[in-house]
């Protein structure tokens, strides 16, 4: 399991449990809280009505005509109340009055007048000077049929002469409970989603530097050049620096070893040729043979010199993690300078161009000149005399420099090897090979400019070399 996923799961789990517990407590307290609020209102209402009806009850305890008429009008009143999104049109309360013995003297429903309510908690406790309230199911099989009863005493000179009870079905507050529950659930879901986003953001932020370090290690493990990542965390920055130092030391040892082996292998052929020619060359040898062997020695010595010089240049480029001399310059004069030099060296060849009048880019002009020089030299070397080599410069992102020749093309077996160090194909006609470092050198320069170099055979014959540059 990745570190990013572990941080995400840990944060989300902690936050998720906290949100769940909070919502669970809130939901569990919602229904009791609503009913307690209703009970509080019924306490006020029952005591108010007890004061209102006491005098009439003293005068005519068995016939509360005025109170009964007022209650009838009250119960028949039509409301036009909109509480939040819930409409309230009529009252659902019930009021009954019992005497000091618990016998019902008045019932707003008219059903239980004369019945004995002395054993009901609301009446029983109130008659004894305590707070009387109860919640009873009107239908034993229906849990939503509970009715809350809150009583208040009718007093005469500090003596309880009766009890007035206000009853209200709990189901009347159920819509408010459902609405609140729905709102809480929606808000809770929104909170969970926000927590999810926050967990993803936090885990991504916390592991950003680690991902940079992992990508850096993966890149150098593939042998590619890359910059040391800029890390804000001190510990990770030190680790990145340590990895870079270790890479440099290991690459240095491996680099020297590979190049010593490769150079030794490549030098065997020209050294053997020089040694053989020097052993055969004698003063008594005919002048033509002497000239031929001296020419071979001179060619092989020049080949060794070119190989060493190119190898030193390649080493310099390969040891760079990034460009050291970046400048803003016009690419077109650089290309024209290379063309001018080649045209003087090979006047029998035609070099055609298709490029804008100017094209400013950012990069190392000296390295790019060498890269273009190598590509153009290859195109000229592999093209028959009198043919045309074309150079096209395509502005954009990235910039492309395409060089096409009219030679014999690259054999299929060599297409994947041409960028390897010391790999070279024989030139047409002379069958002589170069140092095999030119295209490898071009590839390193392209990498430093965040671009690439591709070679492909044209359908009509010849090779297209496409150098792309991403630094603009």
Please write the tens of the pLDDT for every residue from 406-435: 888 887 777 777 777 666 666 665 555 555
pLDDT for 150 equals: 94
Contact 376, 338 (CB under 8 A): yes
d(CA 164, CA 155): 11
Q: Give me the half-sphere count of Cα atoms (radius 13 Å) on the Cβ side of residue 418.
A: 21
pLDDT for 409 equals: 81
Q: Look up residue 311 and give its two tokens.
A: 């190898």
Contact 179, 84 (CB under 8 A): yes
Please indicate whether residue 110 or residue 210 has the higher confidence score (pLDDT).
Answer: 110
d(CA 426, CA 432): 5
d(CA 167, CA 313): 100
Of 277, 309, 280, nearest in space to 295 by CA? 277
d(CA 135, CA 37): 14
Residue 231 three-state SS: coil
Contact 141, 156 (CB under 8 A): no
Q: Which residues of 11-47 are buried (b: 16+ CB within 10 A; e: fewer)?
A: bbeebbeebeeebeeeeeeeeeebbeebbeebbebbb
pLDDT for 49 equals: 92
pLDDT for 88 equals: 74
Dihedrals phi, psi of 435, to nearest 5 degrees: -70, -20
The listed range with the strongest mean pLDDT (95-99, 218-222, 241-245, 342-346) is: 95-99
Range 227-236 average pLDDT? 75
Instruction: Write the CB contacts of 178 (distance below 8 Å, at least 6 apart in sequence).
Output: none
Residue 129, pLDDT above cutoff 80: yes
Residue 159 burial class via C-beta count within 10 angstroms: exposed 0-12, middle 13-18, buried 19 and up: exposed
State pTM to two decimals: 0.41
Q: Which domains does the chain have, with CATH numbers?
A: 3-179 (3.30.450.20), 224-322 (1.10.287), 327-469 (3.30.565.10)
The region of weakest confidence among 131-140, 295-304, 352-361 is 295-304
Q: What residue spans of 207-330 are helical by DSSP H?
A: 208-221, 234-280, 287-318
Residue 87, pLDDT above cutoff 80: no
Edge-to-edge order in the sheet of strand 94-99: 104-107, 94-99, 159-169, 146-156, 133-137
Q: What is the DSSP letter of 465?
A: E
Q: How many residues would you count in the chain?
A: 472
Contact 369, 307 (CB under 8 A): no
Q: Look up residue 284 and give its two tokens.
A: 């008594």
Residue 141 three-state SS: coil
Omega of the bond prior to 398 within 30 degrees of 0, cis?
A: yes
Beta strands 146-156; 133-137: pairing state: antiparallel
d(CA 212, CA 228): 9
């Amino acid at each position: 399991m990745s570190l990013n996923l572990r941080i995400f799961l840990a944060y989300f789990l902690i936050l998720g449990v906290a949100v769940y517990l909070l919502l669970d407590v809130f939901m569990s307290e919602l229904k009791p809280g609503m009913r307690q609020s209703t009970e509080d209102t019924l306490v006020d209402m029952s005591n108010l009505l007890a004061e209102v009806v006491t005098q009439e009850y003293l005068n005519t305890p068995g016939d509360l005509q005025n109170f009964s008429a007022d209650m009838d009008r009250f119960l028949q009143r039509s409301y036009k109340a909109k509480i939040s999104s819930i409409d309230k049109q009529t009252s659902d309360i019930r009021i009954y009055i019992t005497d000091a013995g618990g016998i019902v003297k008045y019932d707003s429903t008219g059903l239980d007048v004369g019945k004995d309510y002395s054993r009901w908690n609301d009446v029983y406790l109130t008659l004894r000077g305590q707070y009387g309230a109860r919640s009873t199911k009107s239908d034993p099989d229906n849990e939503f049929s509970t009715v809350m009863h809150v009583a208040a005493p009718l007093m005469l000179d500090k003596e309880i002469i009766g009890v007035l009870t206000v009853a209200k079905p709990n189901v009347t507050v159920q819509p408010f409970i459902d609405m609140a529950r729905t709102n809480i659930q929606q808000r809770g879901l929104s909170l969970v989603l926000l927590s999810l986003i926050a967990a993803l953001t936090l885990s991504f932020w916390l592991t950003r530097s680690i991902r940079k370090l992992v990508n850096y290690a993966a890149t150098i493990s593939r042998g590619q050049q890359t910059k040391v990542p800029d890390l804000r965390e001190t510990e990770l920055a030190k680790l990145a620096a340590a990895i870079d130092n270790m890479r440099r030391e290991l690459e240095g040892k491996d680099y020297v070893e590979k190049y010593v082996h490769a150079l030794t292998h490549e030098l065997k052929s020209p050294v053997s040729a020089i040694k053989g020619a020097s052993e055969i060359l004698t003063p008594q040898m005919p002048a033509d043979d002497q000239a031929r062997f001296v020419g071979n020695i001179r060619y092989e010595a020049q080949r060794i010199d070119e190989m060493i010089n190119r190898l030193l240049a390649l080493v310099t480029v390969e040891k760079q993690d990034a460009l050291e001399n970046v400048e803003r310059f016009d690419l077109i004069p650089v290309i024209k300078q290379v063309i001018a030099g080649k045209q003087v060296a090979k006047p029998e060849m035609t070099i055609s161009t298709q490029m804008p009048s100017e094209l400013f880019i950012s990069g190392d002009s000296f390295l790019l000149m060498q890269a273009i020089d190598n590509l153009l030299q290859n195109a000229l070397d592999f093209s028959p005399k009198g043919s045309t080599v074309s150079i096209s410069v395509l502005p954009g992102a990235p910039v492309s420099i395409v060089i096409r020749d009219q030679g014999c093309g690259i054999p299929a077996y060599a297409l994947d090897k041409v960028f390897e160090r010391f790999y070279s194909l024989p030139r047409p006609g002379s069958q002589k090979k170069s140092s095999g470092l030119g295209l490898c050198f071009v590839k390193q320069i392209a990498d430093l400019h965040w671009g690439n170099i591709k070679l492909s055979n044209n359908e009509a014959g010849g090779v297209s070399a496409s150098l792309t540059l991403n630094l603009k």
